[in-house]
Structure 1
Amino acid sequence: MVVKFQNSHKLFFFISIVVLLFHFSQLQAQSEEIEKADSLLRIGQFEKAAEFYQLEIKSTKDSSQLAAAYIGLAKSELVQSKFDRALGNYIHAETFTNSQNQQNLQEIYTGIGVVHSKLKNFKKAEDYLKKALNQITTENIFALKVYINLAGLYIETDNPKALSTYQKSLKLAKKLNRKDIQAVVYTNLSNYYIEQKKWLSSKLNAEKSLQIREQLQMPVSVITYNNYGYALVQLGNIKEGINAYKKALPKASLQEKERLLFNLMNAYKGALNYKEALAFSQQYDRVKDSIDAKQYREKIATIQTAYETEKNKKKIELLQAENAHKKREFEQLIIGGIILLGLLIIIGFLYFKNQQVKQKLAKSKLKQQLLQVQLNPHFLFNALQQIQFYIFNNEKENSMDYLANFSRLIRLVLETSNKEFISLSEEIEMLKNYLYLQQSAVSNKFQYFFTINTETDSSELQIPVMLVQPFVENAVLHGVNDHANGEIQLIFKQDVTNQQIIAEIIDNGKGIEHTKKINQQRLHNSMGSAILDERVLEYNKTHSRKIKLQVLEADKTKNSPGTHIVIYMPYRVA
């Protein structure tokens, strides 16, 4: 199996920025500061450009100059992935833009659409991109930009309109004779056909993109060569596919190298050239370790700034209401009482909607973090290494058995990651697969036992998803991992009177105090506990029947007292 580039259709974001910068030179005459900033923006000096835009904002009261400065500042922040700031400045720009200024409104609505798309607010992104399209009266470069953004958005959301929208953007790019954009659209189409498993169509579109790039002497496109190689390998032309991967490798970023090396390793396996496959496997491991270390640092920084980002988003919503108030100052002088009342109602409604959005976003991020804690890259890496070990040692039955459990676990995790509740039978299946994989991967084999005592069929009992697994993981990693005769007991009982499932996780490890000392030295565990505590807290805020936890010593009389976790979970019957 060959790994393709994930989310390579996001080239539409790159095209958006290219077109934004291209058309920035065509804006109406601006002040000297804005002209300097525009020049800096076009050559990629984004931070320096932002300084000139901010200087203009502080020094002028002219609405058109302010609108241009805020649009430029938003663009400089958008290309640096400062999405919350970019959104705020686009909103400022709209405040100072006349409703007849279609060019500014096109810029603003497209920019806001791109920001919402990057923040995964896909419905808002589509709404703003369509608003931008409504401002366009002729088929021009702005229309092309919006079509490409919409196509990328439809890819993100699995919308069947993606193909027709890409085809429409390709037709317009040809009409405008923009071959550079045609090359990018062909690459996006090749990736689309890979998603659809239409290998020949993907190959043909990648070839068209490569031909145009060669004619225009454009830089090597790593994604295009990867798509081309991927389609060739799937069509059975492994040799040419390998050559395509190798052409992309010298220009690839660290993340792109990881995927290319993995593709090369699997391609050589398919060609039965195990020597080359092993060499590329070793290169892949080194690159992946570098990426894991970088992502680990970035994840820490992201978690530390999460709450600040939420506060900034709230400020942006309130700022939008405040700017709307200022824009209507003259009308308020005439019908002040009516407008004031209406404004108060609007602010209250926006605040209510803002709270709803914040709660949904917090829940989404928490689920993602919980998924990362449950199935972190280190565990995935070890699992793949174990499979590789079985294969290289020709242990076919072990490798197939291990791979089957690993696949079932991944499938269950992905299928339930966006759910609030899961059946007890699915939760138990996921735990069994997880424990089997962990048992196979450690040197000191431990034993685990399940006891299920329910009056109702376990497939009908719905419990909060992914609540038990982190405690089982702690029992393995910090309880029985180094224990010569490790045992883990998992007991599930139905309390019909109180309508709750009582889950117990009991291990014979070194106990609570020893685990606390270890946790002080392990960031993973502290982060996992914090996320779990927050999830229980958020659940209890919004549900009348609460989740309760107890942490006890399993047996105080022993040298290794072990740990006894009791979780009281409300259930519902499907």
Structure 2
Amino acid sequence: KSSQNLINIDFIGISFRDAGNLKYKYRLDGLNRDWNYTFNTQVEYAFLPPGNYEFEVIAINSDGLESENPASLSFTILPPFYYTWWFIATMILFLTAIAYYLYSLRLKQIKKENDLRNDINLYRQQALSKQMDPHFVFNTLNSIQSFIIKNDSLASTQYLSKFAKLIRLILNNSQNQAVPLDDEISALTLYLELESLRFQKKFKFELLIDPAINSSSCFIPAFLIQPFVENAVWHGIMGLKGTGHITVELKKNHNEITCIVEDNGIGRTKSMEMKTPEEIAKKSFGIKLVEQRLELLNNLYDINMKVLFVDLYSENGKPSGTRVIINLPMIS
């Protein structure tokens, strides 16, 4: 056996003249073919490697005469099982199968990631088209025209400048999967300023940014916040008789950014009652796009982004607005 590689060999020569004073020469063929000399009648070999061996010993008397034929002993030390051909062949087959399985798994993962990225790009382009909504563009240009007709050159110039900056930001952001938080804040500010001017200060707004957030180096997925701000304007504030108020708050929460969009509008239930089926479908499409993008991003990056809608009520139980909470990852 492979573990039996410590060998002790005893031998003795017979001589009536030199009893007990014989010299011996010996060798272990398979380890070393050189002869060794000793007066001992025992030799020991430790840690012999696997292989075939033949031990030979010759007795030498005091006159230097050697025995005619060497005494010999043959033995074999078997290799351990992990050196046998069948084990090596089995391991090669096993490792080949593992490598092929991992290769196939990686191919499937790459294909899945590519499919997810393609789907994300598709929904991102749809989100872009939603932000570049023809109605919004048309209404904005109408407002600019109205200022021009009234000879309000200052207002028309400011309005046109803000609109141009917003369009440039939207087009720039459309090229990237994630955008700097600074750009997203600028786009939201411009959008709210344009809508506030167009509706003659019907609502006020404020953006609250957590000081712990480095907005210049922090990136978030593009086109995720704006649809909820748009809903706050059109489906919350527009049906309100008094002055509306919209708050967009960004707070750092470990490796996430919690975005809270809150309005003091008429609430979701009242808004649904006032809308036509076409308007309801349009609103649902915008939110559905965001939710589908969130699901795809969750699968791609193994994260847990989600949207929570909270209906707000006054002390007497009447609807007093809507709060939307969005968990966004901070992307490096």
Which TM-score tier does this pair reach, normalised by the shorter chain? 0.5 to 0.7
Q: What's the offset of the Cα at 1:540? A: 0.8
Cα 1:540/1:517, change in 2 over 3 Å:
farther
Give, in whole Å, the separation in 2 of the partners of 1:471 and 1:479: 11
Post-superposition Cα deviations, 1:325-350, rounded to whole Å, max 9, x if no partner, equal xxxxxxxxxxxxxxxxxxxxxx9999
User: Does 2:236 match 1:485?
Assistant: no
Q: What's the offset of the Cα at 1:479? A: 0.6
Give, in whole Å, the separation in 2 of the partners of 1:381 and 1:401: 17
Cα 1:545/1:518, change in 2 over 3 Å:
farther
The equivalences for 1:510-549 within 5 A come to 510-518=266-274, 521=277, 522=279, 523-549=281-307
Per the alignment, residue 139 of structure 2 pairs with: 382
* Residue of structure 2 aligned with 1:415, choices 131, 155, 172: 172
Instruction: Supply the AA of the counterpart residue of 1:404.
Output: S
The equivalences for 1:30-429 within 5 A come to 355=112, 358-429=115-186
Is the Cα contact below 8 Å between 1:519 and 1:526 reproduced in 2?
no
Post-superposition Cα deviations, 1:509-551, rounded to whole Å, max 9, x if no partner, equal 1112223445672221111121111111101111233212211
SS at match of 1:561: strand
Instruction: Supply the AA of the counterpart residue of 1:454.
Output: P
The equivalences for 1:552-563 within 5 A come to 552-557=310-315, 559-563=318-322
Cα 1:551/1:545, change in 2 over 3 Å:
same
Post-superposition Cα deviations, 1:7-62, rounded to whole Å, max 9, x if no partner, equal xxxxxxxxxxxxxxxxxxxxxxxxxxxxxxxxxxxxxxxxxxxxxxxxxxxxxxxx
User: Does 2:256 match 1:500?
Assistant: yes
Is the Cα contact below 8 Å between 1:444 and 1:482 reproduced in 2?
no
Cα 1:455/1:357, change in 2 over 3 Å:
closer
| Aligned-residue identity in percent | 30
Per the alignment, residue 99 of structure 2 pairs with: none
Is the Cα contact below 8 Å between 2:312 and 2:319 reproduced in 1?
no
Cα 1:543/1:505, change in 2 over 3 Å:
same
Give, in whole Å, the separation in 2 of the partners of 1:384 and 1:507: 26
Q: What's the offset of the Cα at 1:354? A: 6.1
Q: What's the offset of the Cα at 1:438? A: 0.8
Post-superposition Cα deviations, 1:385-418, rounded to whole Å, max 9, x if no partner, equal 1111112222111011101110111011000112
Cα 1:348/1:459, change in 2 over 3 Å:
closer
Per the alignment, residue 222 of structure 2 pairs with: 465
Per the alignment, residue 253 of structure 1 pairs with: none
Greater relative contact order (CA < 8 Å, ≥ 6 in sequence)? 2
Instruction: Supply the AA of the counterpart residue of 2:306.
Output: K
Instruction: Supply the AA of the counterpart residue of 1:461.
Output: C
Q: What's the offset of the Cα at 1:488? A: 0.7
Is the Cα contact below 8 Å between 1:549 and 1:567 reproduced in 2?
yes
Per the alignment, residue 569 of structure 1 pairs with: 328
Is the Cα contact below 8 Å between 2:307 and 2:327 reproduced in 1?
yes
Q: Higher strand share goes to which structure? A: 2
Instruction: Supply the AA of the counterpart residue of 2:286.
Output: G
Is the Cα contact below 8 Å between 1:490 and 1:503 reproduced in 2?
yes
Give, in whole Å, the separation in 2 of the partners of 1:354 and 1:449: 43
SS at match of 1:404: helix
Q: Higher helix share goes to which structure? A: 1
Is the Cα contact below 8 Å between 2:127 and 2:286 reproduced in 1?
yes
SS at match of 1:438: helix
Structure with larger Rg: 2
Is the Cα contact below 8 Å between 1:506 and 1:554 reproduced in 2?
no
- Structure 2 stretches of 5 or more lacking a match? 1-103
Per the alignment, residue 550 of structure 1 pairs with: 308
User: Does 2:265 match 1:509?
Assistant: yes
SS at match of 2:140: helix
SS at match of 1:562: strand
Cα 1:356/1:464, change in 2 over 3 Å:
closer
Is the Cα contact below 8 Å between 1:405 and 1:437 reproduced in 2?
yes
Cα 1:451/1:362, change in 2 over 3 Å:
same
* Residue of structure 1 aligned with 2:211, choices 454, 460, 463: 454
Cα 1:499/1:359, change in 2 over 3 Å:
closer
* Residue of structure 2 aligned with 1:433, choices 187, 190, 195: 190
Is the Cα contact below 8 Å between 1:444 and 1:481 reproduced in 2?
no
- The count of residues paired between Structure 1 and Structure 2 equals 228
Give, in whole Å, the separation in 1 of the partners of 2:216 and 2:112: 35
Per the alignment, residue 135 of structure 1 pairs with: none
Is the Cα contact below 8 Å between 2:116 and 2:296 reproduced in 1?
no
Give, in whole Å, the separation in 2 of the partners of 1:348 and 1:569: 29
Give, in whole Å, the separation in 2 of the partners of 1:461 and 1:351: 31
Give, in whole Å, the separation in 1 of the partners of 2:313 and 2:202: 22
Per the alignment, residue 61 of structure 1 pairs with: none
SS at match of 2:209: strand
Q: What's the offset of the Cα at 1:441? A: 1.6
Query: TM-score when scaled to structure 2?
Result: 0.62
Cα 1:501/1:520, change in 2 over 3 Å:
farther
Is the Cα contact below 8 Å between 1:423 and 1:458 reproduced in 2?
yes
Deviates more, 1:452-461 or 1:504-513: 452-461
Q: What's the offset of the Cα at 1:444? A: 6.2
Instruction: Supply the AA of the counterpart residue of 2:309.
Output: V
Is the Cα contact below 8 Å between 1:509 and 1:562 reproduced in 2?
yes
